[in-house]
Chains A and B, each alone.
Chain A
Amino acid sequence: MAFSSTEQEKLNLARRHRKARLFSRFCGAITWSGVLLLAVLLYQVSIEGFHWLDWQFVDSFPSRFPERAGVKSALVGTLWLIILVAMISIPVGVSTALYLEEFAGKGRIAKIIEVNIANLAGVPSIVYGILGLAVFVRYMLLERSLISGALTMSLLILPVIIIASREAIKTVPQSIRYAAYSLGATKWQTTWAHVLPASFPGIMTGVILALSRAIGETAPLIMIGANTFVAFLPEGPMDAFTALPIQIYNWVSRPQEEFHELAAAGIIILLAVLLIMNATAIYIRNKTERRLK
């Protein structure tokens, strides 16, 4: 077969190159429109809600009257949740990851647990809500309290923490472990002194991601009965509560325009909380990563 450069072939090549250029521009345009979308969304939220943002808004309880309504109980509820969920899910999640990576070996049981966790990661959050309702609220008689909400959310984000922690632990080089073992250290001594500190930045990132997800979830909290109208501050884990996403949902569901604007203001607060959490995570990760270098 002769490969002579005919006019036809030259045309073909030109067309193919044109196609390639168009394609890359097309993909680029689509990608940047995603960025544009985010900008639009944030802009929309800001202009709607900004003028409602003042100290009175943060300091007031929800009310039937838009001018008097605020996010105080919701914000406090969300902060409570962050702390409680962190206290429950971090030890359990990291422990599970350590067990699977360092202690469990490669047997059948470890495989079953691993597959199980991957499946749990994909279960819709509302199913966790049903679980929380039946187990924590009804069976354990914890009522519609902060602790019920925290336990439910912890179960929800546990798979995320486990998977992220495992990834972080896997990146610790095996040579470090061998060095420790060769000095006559037990598995736990090695894990505690070397594996955990080395994987800490990665674990931290995963934890913050998981907590961010927990803060934004509404459906499970609705299922366990977090009241939508809470005009008091919870004082202990057994108290009833509300949270920012629920308050926002409540306001958005109302027909009046002012409540939609209130919702936007609430969203700004919620996004601010998320931003602070993520910034803290990045800060902690950078500090610990630098120390290890």
Chain B
Amino acid sequence: MSPPGMDPSTAEVGQPMHKKSVLELRDVNIYYSEKRAVNNVSFNIRRNKITAIIGPSGCGKSTLLRSLNRMNDFVEGARVEGELLFGNENLYGSDVDPVEVRRRIGMVFQKPNPFPKSIYDNIAWGPKINGYKDSTDELVERSLKQAALWEEVKDRLHDSALNLSGGQQQRLCIARALAMEPEVLLMDEPCSALDPISTSHIEDLMFELKEQYTIVIVTHNMQQAARISDYTAFMEMGDLIEFNVTKRIFTRPAIKRTEEYVTGRFG
């Protein structure tokens, strides 16, 4: 079910992380008040790989993703149990600063949400408030190039970000997240609000980003997961049904339910 060396259930509590994983989930349960949205999920996120989380609507994948950078803290009544290890520390430890977590684990949201400011300020703001001292011009150019947006906007950096098209705005949001140089980039259905051309631009982008960053993407588009991800986690109703190398999940899944989902028999 899990690739060799990736099976977190053999890791005992307190054991250090596997040297190739950047995030490890061990027996993670997430509750909204009394209702349990994620049940006992365990898997590892491998460095410099793209891990996709797929599943039908309401299966808890977005909830799980949001717990990786403590964005669930903003939901009333949300509670996380279990271990989410990052740098051998539990993300939900009692003396952990969520602001620090979010510095190092970035997020791109479903609907592009640029600030109502200029393109330049959108990208420069995050690093600046976090103490960035070097040249912001270089930072902005670098981030926009990484997000494959530089050529299109280099002459109008001080225009409002809201004047960009949907696909451009989403790439701006990616550039903005990358400017913080996060170790992990979380993407919550980043293409679902975009047209197919923008979607393919962003998918190409993700292949390039993989070399420097680790990406976790939630998507309801199975073909997208099959195209771009290295590992795939399939969830249903809060349970992790199967986690494996993407090729296996889509060609020879070990669990029948997985096969039913990826062949489109439900969801």
Contacts and interface: CB of A to CB of B under 8 A. Distances in A.
Chains A and B in contact, CB within 8 Å? yes
Interface of A: 106, 173, 175-176, 178-186, 189, 193-194, 198, 292-293
A106 B74 CA distance: 12
20 contacts: A106-B76, A173-B113, A175-B111, A178-B71, A179-B115, A179-B176, A180-B115, A181-B71, A183-B102, A183-B126, A183-B177, A184-B99, A185-B99, A185-B129, A186-B99, A193-B129, A198-B116, A293-B116, A293-B160, A293-B162
B125 interface: yes
A292 B163 CA distance: 11
Interface pairs A-B: 4 shortest CB-CB: A184-B103, A183-B126, A175-B113, A182-B107
B129 to A, nearest CB: 5
B113 A181 contact: no
Interface string B208-249: 000000000000000000000000000000000000000000
Contacts of A185: 99, 102, 126, 129-130
Contacts, number: 62
A183 B160 contact: no
Given A106-B76, A183-B102, A183-B125, 20 more contacts: A173-B113, A175-B109, A175-B113, A176-B113, A178-B109, A179-B114, A182-B69, A182-B106, A182-B107, A183-B103, A183-B106, A183-B126, A184-B100, A184-B102, A184-B103, A184-B130, A184-B180, A189-B129, A193-B129, A293-B160
Given A189-B129, A293-B160, A293-B162, A182 B116 contact: no
Interface size range on B against A: 20 to 34
Nearest to A182: B107
Contact of A193 (B99, B102, B114, B125): B125
A180 B177 CA distance: 10
Contacts of B100: 184
B52 interface: no
Contacts of B111: 175
Chain A contact surface mostly: helix
B6 interface: no
Nearest to B76: A106
B23 interface: no
B109 A183 contact: no
A200 B32 CA distance: 34
Nearest to B186: A182
B186 to A, nearest CB: 8
Nearest to A172: B116
A73 B176 CA distance: 56
A182 B76 contact: no
A182 B114 CA distance: 12
A5 to B, nearest CB: 52
A206 B121 CA distance: 29
Contacts of B74: 178, 181
Contact of B177 (A175, A182, A198): A182
Given A175-B113, A194-B115, A292-B116, A182 B125 contact: no
Nearest to A179: B113
A182 B102 contact: yes
A3 B141 CA distance: 76
A232 B129 CA distance: 51
A183 B76 contact: no
A293 B104 CA distance: 31
A178 B75 CA distance: 11
A156 B116 CA distance: 34
Nearest to A194: B115
B173 interface: yes
